[in-house]
Structure 1
Amino acid sequence: MNCPCCSGKSYEQCCKLYHDGMLPPTALDLMRSRYSAYALSKVSYIIETTHPQSPYFEKDVSKWEKGVRQFCNTTRFVKLEILHPKYPDPSDPTVHFIAYLEQGAPFQLNEKSHFEKLDGKWLYLSGSFTN
């Protein structure tokens, strides 16, 4: 199976490594693995890789899981396009991407995601949407 993150690698040689416990070495790797986690309904991975200071972090984990699962189940993840950085950079905490999605009709999510390392682990902190 091709990896949902559109890296050109197989899932087993790409995001599955992170979903199985290996730490993504860069923010870009984490972003790609989170996209794949959404595409494959790996809800706990989304929750585990969200920074506690993120505006999306919820203390009520069961409510949060339900919301993420509903989004995953009602969304088709068509394609991921990375705009910045083009190559993994261990020091760059920002990833600009376009996610091509469908929820009945196609739409695009153009986001600059911000990540932060906490205890040696990259986590999703926040995102700003652009046109």
Structure 2
Amino acid sequence: MSFGAAASAHRGHRLASDAPCPCGRRGFGSCCGPVLDGRAADTPEDLMRSRYTAFALGHARHLVDTWFPRTRPDDLAIDPGIEWMGLDVLDSDTDPDGRSGRVHFRATWREKATRELATMEERSRFVRRGGRWYYVEAL
């Protein structure tokens, strides 16, 4: 899957605090909103949910900032032709040392032009450095 258009510091769409969060967990203001605004995610799952929300709302900068530098691609952009439809977290864990974790999730999207639905399933690895979680890679 291509991320499409050129990356930028684009902040994306902003939702009202009481609007449902795109990740589906609770209201945006008490879910992914604060993480998109720069607050550190508490868990790997919280970071993964905020990254899904960043794709859904077009927050390319959040994706860059939360991707571990050694594994981050040079060109990271969000495809405006994709509409993210839903997220299911299937499993999530943090290692006992609190420095790494994994999240298994399924995300559904729709191609805007064709209305075709698609699903991706991934097991992601995260690390914690300097008090912040970072996405490292798909396992």
Does structure 1 residue 40 correspond to structure 2 residue 32?
no
- Checking the alignment, whether the CA contact within 8 Å between 1:28 and 1:89 is kept in structure 2 is no
- State the TM-score, normalized to the length of structure 1: 0.81
Match of residue 133 from structure 2: 122
1:101 aligns with 2:109: yes
Structure 1 position 117, deviation (Å): 1.1
TM-score by length of 2: 0.77
Equivalents in 2 of 1:10, 1:118: separation in Å?
Answer: 28
Q: How far apart, CA to CA, are the structure 2 residues paired with 1:100 and 1:30?
A: 18
> For residue 57 of structure 1, what is the aligned residue in structure 2?
73
Unaligned runs of 5+ in 1: 59-63
Deviant stretches of 4+, over 6 Å: none
Partner-residue secondary structure (3-state), 2:121: strand
- For the 8 Å contact 1:51–1:57, the answer to whether it is kept is no
% of aligned pairs identical? 28
Distance in 2 between residues matched to 1:81 and 1:32, nearest whole Å: 10
| Cα distance, 1:57 vs structure 2 | 2.7
Higher helix share: 1
In structure 2, stretches of 5+ residues that fail to align are 1-18
Partner of 1:61 in structure 2? none
Whether 2:20 is the aligned partner of 1:2: answer yes
CA contact (8 A) 2:89 2:106 kept: yes
2:47 pairs with 16, 26, 30, which one?
30
